[in-house]
């Protein structure tokens, strides 16, 4: 590609080589940055007969109601470590679900197959934070946080961290279970815990994501898929189509598009004949700020049937209504971690800051985030004049059409 970047005086021309080098870094950095996904284990996800972790080398925890490590027979629940072992397979390498030891191992290994790096937030040492540089597993280091049926309420600080994480571009996967499903005997179950996050928090918004979990107990197989576009990321996503789900003692959700217009139900209860409306929702996705949310009302579809031998586990992930649950969870995960790519095209002549010069009047933000792109394509004999300070983040790109000109009297920072 030939392009012409001009500087207003000879003294700044040597910067052309530096910008060219950094430009290539910016274009290719995203190819080498690995998506990281964090599975939570701090909220008693292994209490009772649950084993909602991707891998545990030790089984020495008792939830009473918080985690206690001991050597007695009472302490036999999975104690998942941060990094699963054996080492994560390379992208594109398939392994059996028992390669790791946990009822979410199949899900975790499918993520590894996609090239994502997966970790666990351990029960004993893990901390849910956002923006805490002292925490090596701060949520800012991950693209998605998966919480499968929490049984311990989030603290006020954890609620703020979760909402800030999503608001700033993170992906939150919310898995609930049925009403009265308290596994660690602390008086809290997952639908009440999720609703407490959404309804009692520091934002003063009692429904930030546009839905709440119902206090219900539902067991059924439903084919009531909402009328969605053929390009819908959850129902017709990259992993495969979803035509049905099976709830084995799960719950539903009620949406409120009036408070969040981005909430989108995709699967309903069988009794919702129209597969539309605000109630009886089994699966949905939504947006909050710059981030994304996926919510399902049952943990059974996550269960791969392997893991802690002390627990009663079932083959929901790739056994019930095969391959729908696997397709659903992986489509949702892929959507959560995927960047919403935006392209800004300079098609006029003159200053960068003038919206008239941009296609559709859309001027790029002063910090172009990863995944987004800028195309400089002025009119014939025209010039794009960068009269602002523009920062191109790693994973974002800026390109100049062949034979076109970019004049830089301002500042162009390319990470």
- Give bridge partners of residue 68 from the DSSP assignment: 62
Domain co-membership, 155 together with 296 = yes
Burial 14-52 (b: 16+ CB within 10 A, else e): eeeeebeebbeebbebeeeeebbbbbbbbbbbbbbebbb
Mean pLDDT score, 82-111? 97
Mean pLDDT score, 112-124? 97
As for how many domains the chain has, the answer is 2
- The model's pLDDT over 150-199, given as tens digits with 9 standing for 90+, comes to 999 999 999 999 999 999 889 999 999 999 999 999 999 999 999 999 99
pLDDT of residue 27: 35
Q: Which tokens sit at 370?
A: 């990863």
- Give bridge partners of residue 4 from the DSSP assignment: 405
Domain co-membership, 70 together with 167 = yes
Domain co-membership, 393 together with 278 = no
pLDDT of residue 339: 83
pLDDT of residue 1: 33
Domain co-membership, 167 together with 23 = no
pLDDT score of 23 more than 50: no
Among 13, 237, 36, smallest CA distance to 145 is for 36
Q: Which tokens sit at 139?
A: 């949520």
- Give bridge partners of residue 69 from the DSSP assignment: 61
Domain co-membership, 393 together with 328 = no
What DSSP string describes 35-55? PEEEEE-SS-TTSTT----S-
pLDDT of residue 412: 93
- The model's pLDDT over 214-272, given as tens digits with 9 standing for 90+, comes to 999 999 999 999 999 999 999 999 999 999 999 999 999 999 999 999 999 999 999 99
pLDDT score of 315 more than 60: yes
Contacts of 73 (CB under 8 A, 6+ apart): none
DSSP code at position 60: E
pLDDT score of 37 more than 80: yes
Mean pLDDT score, 193-215? 96
Compute the distance between CA of residue 32 and CA of residue 222 in angstroms, rounded to an integer: 40
Domain co-membership, 332 together with 189 = yes
Helix (H) or strand (E) holding 105: helix 105-113
**In the listed set 285, 302, 337, which residue is the last one of a domain according to the structure?**
337
Domain co-membership, 137 together with 274 = yes
Mean pLDDT score, 97-115? 97
Compute the distance between CA of residue 297 and CA of residue 325 in angstroms, rounded to an integer: 13
**In the listed set 322, 337, 352, which residue is the last one of a domain according to the structure?**
337
What's the half-sphere exposure (Cβ side, CA atoms, 13 Å) at 347?
9
Domain co-membership, 238 together with 376 = no
Question: Domain range for residue 289?
Answer: 34-337
Q: What CATH number does the domain containing 93 carry? A: 3.40.50
For residues 175 and 247, the answer to whether their CB atoms sit within 8 Å is: no
Helix (H) or strand (E) holding 195: helix 190-199
pLDDT score of 19 more than 60: no
Helix (H) or strand (E) holding 193: helix 190-199
Domain co-membership, 142 together with 243 = yes
Domain co-membership, 196 together with 328 = yes
pLDDT of residue 403: 92
- The model's pLDDT over 389-405, given as tens digits with 9 standing for 90+, comes to 999 988 889 999 999 99
Q: Which tokens sit at 415?
A: 């990470």
**In the listed set 282, 313, 337, which residue is the last one of a domain according to the structure?**
337
pLDDT above 70 as % of the chain:
92
Instruction: Among 85-94, 290-299, 395-404, name the one with the lowest average pLDDT.
Output: 395-404
- The model's pLDDT over 348-362, given as tens digits with 9 standing for 90+, comes to 999 999 999 999 888
Confidence of residue 28 (pLDDT cuts 50, 70, 90): very low
Neighbouring C-beta atoms of residue 195, cutoff 10 Å: 18
Domain co-membership, 39 together with 25 = no
pLDDT score of 46 more than 50: yes
Tally the residues of the chain.
Answer: 415
Instruction: Among 78-87, 105-114, 294-303, 394-403, name the one with the lowest average pLDDT.
Output: 394-403
pLDDT of residue 371: 79
pLDDT of residue 9: 52
Q: Taken in order 117, 77, 94, 110, is the CA torsion positive or negative?
A: negative
Average per-residue pLDDT for the chain: 91
pLDDT score of 95 more than 50: yes
Compute the distance between CA of residue 266 and CA of residue 294 in angstroms, rounded to an integer: 11
pLDDT of residue 276: 98
pLDDT of residue 29: 38
Domain co-membership, 113 together with 173 = yes
Q: Taken in order 240, 242, 247, 248, is the CA torsion positive or negative?
A: negative
């Amino acid at each position: 590609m030939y392009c012409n970047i001009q500087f207003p005086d000879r003294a700044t021309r040597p910067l052309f080589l530096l910008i060219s080098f950094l430009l290539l870094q910016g274009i290719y950095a995203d190819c080498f940055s690995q998506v990281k996904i964090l599975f939570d284990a701090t909220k008693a996800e292994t209490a009772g007969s649950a084993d909602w972790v991707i891998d545990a080398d030790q089984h020495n925890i008792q939830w009473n109601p918080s985690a206690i490590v001991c050597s007695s027979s009472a302490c036999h629940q999975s104690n998942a470590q941060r990094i699963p072992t054996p080492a994560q397979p390379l992208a594109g390498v398939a392994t059996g679900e028992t390669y790791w030891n946990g009822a979410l191992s199949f899900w975790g290994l499918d993520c590894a197959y996609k090239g994502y790096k997966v970790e666990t937030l351990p029960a004993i040492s893990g901390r849910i934070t956002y923006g805490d540089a002292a925490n090596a597993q701060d949520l800012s280091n991950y693209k998605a946080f998966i919480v499968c049926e929490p049984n311990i309420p989030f603290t006020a600080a954890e609620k703020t961290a979760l909402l800030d994480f999503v608001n700033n571009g993170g992906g939150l996967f919310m898995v609930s279970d049925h009403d009265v499903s308290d596994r660690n005997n602390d008086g809290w179950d997952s639908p009440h815990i999720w609703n407490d996050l959404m309804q009692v928090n520091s934002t003063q918004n009692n429904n930030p994501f546009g839905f709440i979990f119902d206090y219900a107990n539902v067991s059924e197989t439903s084919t009531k898929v909402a009328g969605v576009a053929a390009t819908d990321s959850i129902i017709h996503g990259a992993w495969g189509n979803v035509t049905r789900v099976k709830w084995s003692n799960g719950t539903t959700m009620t949406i409120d598009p009036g408070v969040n217009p981005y909430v989108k139900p995709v699967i309903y209860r069988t009794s919702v004949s129209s597969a539309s409306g605000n109630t009886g929702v089994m699966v949905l996705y939504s947006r909050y700020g710059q981030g994304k949310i996926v919510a399902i009302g049952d943990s059974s579809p996550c269960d791969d049937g392997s893991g802690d031998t002390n627990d009663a586990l079932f083959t929901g992930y790739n056994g019930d209504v095969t391959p729908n649950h696997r397709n659903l969870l992986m489509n949702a995960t892929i959507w959560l971690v995927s960047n919403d790519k935006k392209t800004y095209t300079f098609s006029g002549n003159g200053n960068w800051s003038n919206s008239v010069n941009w296609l559709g009047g859309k001027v790029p933000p002063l910090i172009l985030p990863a995944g987004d792109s800028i195309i400089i394509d002025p009119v014939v004999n025209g010039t794009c004049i960068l009269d602002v300070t523009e920062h191109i983040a790693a994973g974002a790109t800026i390109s100049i059409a062949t034979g076109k000109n970019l004049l830089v009297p301002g500042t162009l920072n390319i990470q």
